[in-house]
């Protein structure tokens, strides 16, 4: 269970003391005190995750189980993803939408079975979880019931040696492929493990009782392959992978089509037209949008940051950076943002404002670094 810190009003995850013991620099994030980096530093942590295995504390995320007589059909009233088509143990990235097609949040939904009855295991963003869970419970009142799992922690073990590390405590993890999950024993602790993550690397997310989280984390960190990783490297890893950060790259003013997330809306759901904002979204799929989320590759060594104006080569404003930073894997700055659709093609020449001067850049395809998921 997350506890309020006596020094401030931020919450603590069950791994707070572990972070401090490992020398983490703690910062406020989504209402929690979270580790932004450890003594090795963000670049070293980033490269270690790409080369071996990094352990992230993501216990601030919201976890819940949604139950109902036809829970998949009920949940499809709120999201555009094909939830009914999920087999037990399979998970899907999808979007909570508002009535205008704007994105309330992005989340992961896994179809599970409890005593022969289907349910959904949900993981939502930390800053949105209270609003998300209230929205889901209210919208589906009378047909589905939401149980918050506030007594659970969530660990993410990411990197090419993640399976090797976790298999020593949970051999069954080897049987999972990307976007698949199941209940399993992790060194004597009952956990729900999914093969998923937010880095573009192979890896797992481990939901387990809060009072056992530090114990399992320390056992993983005792392995030569595993190091603790903070929010700084988590952000640079997800940016290289071209993954959106809610509240920055997507929000209630962006639609899935503008955000280059049209792939989250399968053929059946496009045909059913029964998800929030369907008329707007389907019209955008058919006719296009005025703006589009794109990757950006600025020249030089200095990163461009969120909010930086993007202009065409004639100096006309055409968009704005939503995420930017240095990519340790590529040894160069990268970014993403929204530009007028006519300037969104990869290779399109652009200019980005950086501390009062203009930096040449190009629109780029994402991901910047190819993913390393285990698909079979």
Look at residue 257 and tell me if it is in a domain: no
Look at residue 246 and tell me if it is in a domain: no
**Residue 5, pLDDT score:** 40
CATH of the domain at 320: 2.40.30.110
**Residue 9, pLDDT score:** 77
In a 3-state reduction of DSSP, which class is residue 215?
Answer: helix
- In percent, the amount of the chain with pLDDT more than 70 equals 98
**Residue 170, pLDDT score:** 98
Name the DSSP class of 251.
-
If you average pLDDT over residues 212-222, what whole number do you get? 98
Residues 70 and 39 in one domain: no
Residues 175 and 221 in one domain: yes
pLDDT reading at 2 higher than 90: no
- The CA-based angle 314-320-321, given to 5 degrees, is 120
CB under 8 A, 24+ apart: contacts of 86-94 = 86/110, 86/111, 87/111, 88/112, 88/113, 88/118, 89/180, 89/181, 89/182, 90/179, 90/180, 91/121, 91/179, 91/180, 91/181, 91/194, 91/196, 92/179, 93/179, 93/264, 94/264
Residues 170 and 102 in one domain: no
Has this prediction a pTM greater than 0.85?
A: yes
- How far is 110 from 18, CA to CA, in rounded Å? 29
Residues 223 and 294 in one domain: no
If you average pLDDT over residues 110-132, what whole number do you get? 97
Distances (CA, A) of 172 to 54, 128, 156, 201: 20, 32, 17, 19
- How far is 315 from 358, CA to CA, in rounded Å? 9
**Residue 3, pLDDT score:** 52
If you average pLDDT over residues 109-128, what whole number do you get? 97
Residues 175 and 46 in one domain: yes
Residues 177 and 205 in one domain: yes
Region of residue 70 (phi > 0: left; psi between -120 and 50: alpha; otherwise: beta): beta
Distances (CA, A) of 364 to 101, 162, 296, 344, 348: 26, 30, 5, 8, 8
Residues 222 and 87 in one domain: no
Query: Which domain covers residue 349, as residue numbers?
Result: 262-364
> Which tens digit of pLDDT belongs to each residue from 298-353?
999 999 999 999 999 999 999 999 999 999 999 999 999 999 999 999 999 999 99
**Residue 376, pLDDT score:** 84
Q: Residue 4: pLDDT band by 50, 70, 90 thresholds?
A: very low
pLDDT reading at 6 higher than 50: no
Name the DSSP class of 287.
H
Residue 136 main-chain phi, psi, to 5 deg:
-65, -45
With a CB cutoff of 8 Å and minimum separation 6, the contacts of 325 are 235, 236, 239, 303, 305, 333, 334, 335
With a CB cutoff of 8 Å and minimum separation 6, the contacts of 355 are none
**Residue 8, pLDDT score:** 52
Q: Do residues 365 and 346 touch, judged by C-beta distance below 8 A?
A: yes
Q: Residue 21: pLDDT band by 50, 70, 90 thresholds?
A: very high
CATH of the domain at 236: 3.30.1360.120
Residues present in the chain in total: 376
pLDDT reading at 357 higher than 90: yes
Burial of 365 (0-12, 13-18, 19+ CB in 10 A): exposed
Residues 165 and 125 in one domain: no
Task: Report how many domains make up the chain.
Answer: 3
If you average pLDDT over residues 345-362, what whole number do you get? 96
CATH of the domain at 82: 3.30.70.1400
Residues 43 and 155 in one domain: yes
> Which tens digit of pLDDT belongs to each residue from 245-266?
999 999 999 999 999 999 999 9
Distances (CA, A) of 318 to 308, 338, 345: 11, 8, 14
Task: Identify any residues that bridge with 320 across adjacent strands, giving them in sequence order.
Answer: 309, 338
Q: Which residue has the higher pLDDT, 7 or 191?
A: 191
If you average pLDDT over residues 207-235, what whole number do you get? 98
**Residue 1, pLDDT score:** 43
Look at residue 341 and tell me if it is in a domain: yes
What is the CB neighbour count within 10 angstroms for residue 62?
23
If you average pLDDT over residues 95-115, what whole number do you get? 98
pLDDT reading at 82 higher than 90: yes
Last residue of a domain, one of 148, 182, 202: 148
> Which tens digit of pLDDT belongs to each residue from 165-215?
999 999 999 999 999 999 999 999 999 999 999 999 999 999 999 999 999
> Which tens digit of pLDDT belongs to each residue from 259-295?
999 999 999 999 999 999 999 999 999 999 999 999 9
Look at residue 20 and tell me if it is in a domain: yes
For residue 56, give the H/E element and its range.
Answer: strand 53-57
Residues 9 and 115 in one domain: no
Residues 55 and 156 in one domain: yes
Residues 44 and 186 in one domain: yes
Mean per-residue pLDDT of the chain: 96
């Amino acid at each position: 269970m997350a506890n309020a810190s006596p020094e401030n009003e931020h919450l603590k995850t069950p791994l707070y003391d572990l972070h401090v013991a490992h020398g983490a620099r703690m910062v406020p994030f989504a209402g929690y005190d979270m580790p932004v980096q450890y003594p090795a530093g963000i670049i070293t942590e980033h490269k270690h995750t790409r080369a071996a295995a990094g352990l992230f504390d993501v216990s601030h995320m919201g976890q819940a189980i949604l139950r109902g007589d036809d829970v998949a059909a009920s949940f499809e009233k709120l999201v555009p993803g094909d939830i009914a088509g999920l087999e037990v143990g399979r998970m899907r990235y999808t979007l909570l939408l508002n009535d205008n097609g704007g994105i309330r949040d992005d989340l992961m939904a896994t179809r599970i079975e409890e005593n022969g009855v289907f349910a959904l295991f949900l993981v939502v963003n930390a800053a949105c979880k209270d609003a998300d869970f209230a929205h889901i419970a209210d919208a589906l009142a009378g047909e589905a019931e939401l149980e918050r799992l506030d007594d659970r922690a969530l660990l993410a073990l990411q990197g090419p040696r993640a399976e090797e590390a976790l298999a020593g405590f949970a051999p069954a993890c080897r049987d999972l492929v990307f976007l698949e999950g199941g209940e399993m024993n992790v060194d004597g602790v009952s956990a729900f493990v999914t093969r998923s993550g937010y880095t573009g690397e192979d890896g797992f997310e481990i939901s387990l009782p809060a009072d056992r989280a530090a114990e399992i984390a320390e056992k993983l960190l005792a392995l030569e392959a595993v190091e603790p990783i903070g929010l700084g490297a988590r952000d640079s890893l997800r940016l290289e992978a071209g993954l959106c950060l809610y509240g920055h790259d997507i929000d209630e003013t962006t639609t899935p089509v503008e955000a280059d997330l049209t792939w989250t809306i399968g053929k059946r759901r496009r045909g059913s037209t029964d998800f929030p904002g369907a008329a707007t979204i389907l019209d955008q799929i058919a006719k296009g949008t005025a703006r589009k989320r794109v990757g950006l590759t600025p020249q030089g060594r200095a990163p461009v940051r969120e909010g930086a104006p993007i202009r065409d080569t004639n100096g006309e404003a055409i968009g704005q950076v939503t995420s930017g930073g240095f990519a340790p894997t590529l040894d160069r700055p990268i970014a993403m943002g929204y530009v007028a659709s006519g300037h969104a093609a990869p290779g399109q020449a652009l200019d980005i404002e950086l501390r009062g001067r203009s930096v040449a850049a190009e629109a780029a395809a994402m991901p910047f670094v190819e993913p390393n998921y285990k698909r079979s």
